[in-house]
Amino acid sequence: MKILFVAGVAAIARDAAASRRFYMEGLGLPLEGDDYPHTDKLDGLKHFGLWSLSDAARSAFGAERWPDDVPIPQAVIELEVEDVAAAAAEMRHKGYRLLTGVKTEPWGQVVARLLSPEGLLLGLTYTPWMRGQ
């Protein structure tokens, strides 16, 4: 089998209204449709990987273990944004809790992290090597 590319990513929403608000109003994604909000208007996925929970905990909390009082995420989605600090401030202003403020990871990616209503770990990122920088 030869995988050509990741054809799609979708969050499994327990609270459809909260998820719609988060992605459309919070992040400004151009979702269409009522029964299955979706978009085909975003550029392609640049990376797919398997990230250990301990690595995610180190990134989000600076700890080896995920905190007991925060839902354990099932996946991470990283959204490349023009300005991580501005995007993080916008999400905070809209009432969303950031798990971590803007920081530079050891591998050079600038990121702010939060949880979506479905419990996905979401990164607002600046990834220099994906921008040719």
Predicted model pTM: 0.81
Q: Set out the domains of the chain in order of their start, with CATH numbers.
A: 47-130 (3.10.180.10)
Specify the 3-state DSSP secondary structure of 125.
strand
- Cα–Cα distance measured from residue 7 to residue 25, given in angstroms and rounded to the nearest whole number: 24
**Per residue of the chain (133 residues), what is the pLDDT tens digit?**
776 666 678 887 888 899 999 999 999 999 999 888 999 888 887 877 888 899 999 999 999 999 999 999 989 999 999 999 999 999 999 999 999 999 999 989 999 999 999 999 999 999 998 888 6
Structural contact between residues 91 and 124, judged by C-beta atoms closer than 8 angstroms = yes
pLDDT of residue 99: 95
